[in-house]
Chain A
Amino acid sequence: DTEVTQTPKHLVMGMTNKKSLKCEQHMGHRAMYWYKQKAKKPPELMFVYSYEKLSINESVPSRFSPECPNSSLLNLHLHALQPEDSALYLCASSQDLTGGAYGYTFGSGTRLTVV
């Protein structure tokens, strides 16, 4: 299995809802990442997990809460989001702790719309 799988592919949620995005990889990769991408912009790093521990939080608002239950799974819990949080949320993984040796594998993303 050489893929990063993200579910759901599309999500529409209200500003008072609580939802979660899920990311899964079975490549034995040691680091996993959440990126946020707005239309026609580059992906922006949100969180990095290394060996299931949060290693980087790019000053992301607390309405986004990451979780890494095990080495294969990465979740992003969403609560009280704003319409400006609508974006494509990308998950990635890398074999080494930064992706410097072998690069990243990206998932296909979850397109989130906050109404």
Chain B
Amino acid sequence: AQSVSQHNHHVILSEAASLELGCNYSYGGTVNLFWYVQYPGQHLQLLLKYFSGDPLVKGIKGFEAEFIKSKFSFNLRKPSVQWSDTAEYFCAVVRFSGNTPLVFGKGTRLSVIA
């Protein structure tokens, strides 16, 4: 079965620190990859997505992610976090073809402290 692993359960950073959140998936075929963010008490918002092409994708709010096919990874990065980035971050994967819906990782809680 397809699975998505997010290695960090809770990350605590100071403002202006750099961020990298790990995401690995288990499926070996063609996949589409997503990062969603959920601010406290709010709904899921799409940060960025990778379908094909340049493996380095840029999203909203200064986030980017790099798809490394050989490592089955899609890590999320931001050079300098802000207090307002405090949120839950979910990686999600879906097979390009097939009948398996979107699968979410367990999420990483990011707390940014001043």
Contact = CB atoms under 8 A, between A and B. Distances in A.
Contacts of B28: none
A100 B46 CA distance: 15
Given A56-B101, A109-B43, A100 B109 contact: no
A40 B109 contact: yes
Contacts of A76: none
B110 interface: no
B49 A103 contact: yes
User: For the side of the interface on A, what is the size category?
Assistant: 20 to 34
Interface string A78-115: 00000000001010100001111111101111000000
A104 B105 CA distance: 16
B99 A55 contact: yes
Contact of B102 (A88, A101, A104, A108): A104
Interface residues of B, number: 26
B32 A101 contact: yes
A21 interface: no
A98 B94 contact: yes
Contacts of B84: none
A69 interface: no
Nearest to B103: A45
B86 to A, nearest CB: 13
Contacts of B95: 98, 100
Contact of A42 (B97, B100, B104): B104
Given A42-B90, A103-B34, A103-B94, A48 B101 contact: yes
B106 A101 contact: no
A100 B106 CA distance: 20
A103 B32 contact: yes
A89 B99 CA distance: 22
Contacts of B97: 100
**Can you list the 10 inter-chain pairs with the closest CB atoms, starting with the nearest?**
A42-B104, A108-B43, A100-B96, A109-B43, A100-B94, A106-B44, A99-B94, A42-B107, A99-B102, A100-B95
Interface of B: 31-32, 34, 36, 42-44, 46, 49, 51, 88, 90, 94-102, 104-107, 109
